[in-house]
Amino acid sequence: MGSIWAGTFLGGPLTAGYFIAENFKTLGQREKVTTTWIITITVTVVLFGGLFMIPNADKIPNQIIPLIYTAIAYYIVNEIQGDRIKQYISETGKAFSIWRALGISLIWACVTFLPILIYVFLTDPTLTATTKSYGQLNHEIYYNEGSLTQTEVDKIADALTQTVFFDEEQQKVILLEKKDAKYIISIPIIKDAWDDDDVISYFESLRVDLQSLIKDNKVIINLCSEEDITQIKRVLDGAAANKGYKSLLLINYFLMDKSNAS
């Protein structure tokens, strides 16, 4: 039973499913193996898919989720197989060694987490982006060197400085992309600020001012979730009306605080 606890904690829920299925085989209950794997795969997909959808999931202590599914797996094994396992071990003296359990858990950890890491790597542009810093507060611009030159990035930074978005009050972080000759500036802001009329008006006015300084390419501003800059909540491309806006000091309140960035 200790092997199941250690293996599941290190290798994830698929490891638990493997141990339970192997136990059913050994105990002569092969008809339950397929059901075990169906349940295991379903739980794994729901668990990790749900973590991507839960707000602030990155703030959950790393050990909490493994402890929860390990405890559940241990309880299930103990309830449905515990007595049979004890009887089998007492009769044969055979059991999973801790080292075998650790080896198996390593294999299933790769099966579980490698696709997740690949997905995150492919969908999060900041992981492969180059970063340049500007001004006394080290305002950061993330960009892909394959689509943007340093000269272009410096030009955008200069425009953001001239429009006082890159100020000396609060550090700013943006993602800069170039698609179809358009400069797309993604800016993370606090939850629901993208629905505030004053915030929309400010950033649309900022876009207009940037466009006046960057004449050769269309400028688009994406207002994004502070939790994930790839989650675009509002696109400002010139369609929004300019109704006037709050001061930059007040707008800074709606921007993601760099100290909270992951």
Please report, in tens digits, the pLDDT of each residue of the chain (262 residues total). 567 778 888 888 999 999 999 889 988 899 999 999 999 999 999 988 887 777 666 667 778 888 988 998 888 888 888 888 888 888 786 776 777 878 888 898 898 888 888 877 776 666 777 899 999 999 999 998 888 999 999 999 999 999 999 999 899 999 999 998 899 999 999 888 999 888 999 999 999 999 999 988 999 999 998 888 888 999 998 764 444 444 554 555 566 554 444 3
pTM beyond 0.75, yes or no:
no
Residues 205, 196: Cα–Cα separation, whole Å = 14
Strand runs labelled E in the chain: 130-134, 139-143, 173-179, 182-189, 218-225, 232-236
Other CB atoms within 10 Å distance of the CB of residue 45: 11
Task: For residue 87, give Cα distances in angstroms to 81, 94, 127.
Answer: 10, 11, 51
pLDDT at residue 121, rounded to an integer: 74
Return the sign of the alpha-carbon dihedral for residues 143, 148, 151, 153: negative
Q: Could you state, in order of their start, the residue ranges of all structural domains in the chain?
A: 2-123, 127-260
Is residue 139 within 8 A of residue 160, CB to CB? The reply is: yes
pLDDT at residue 115, rounded to an integer: 86
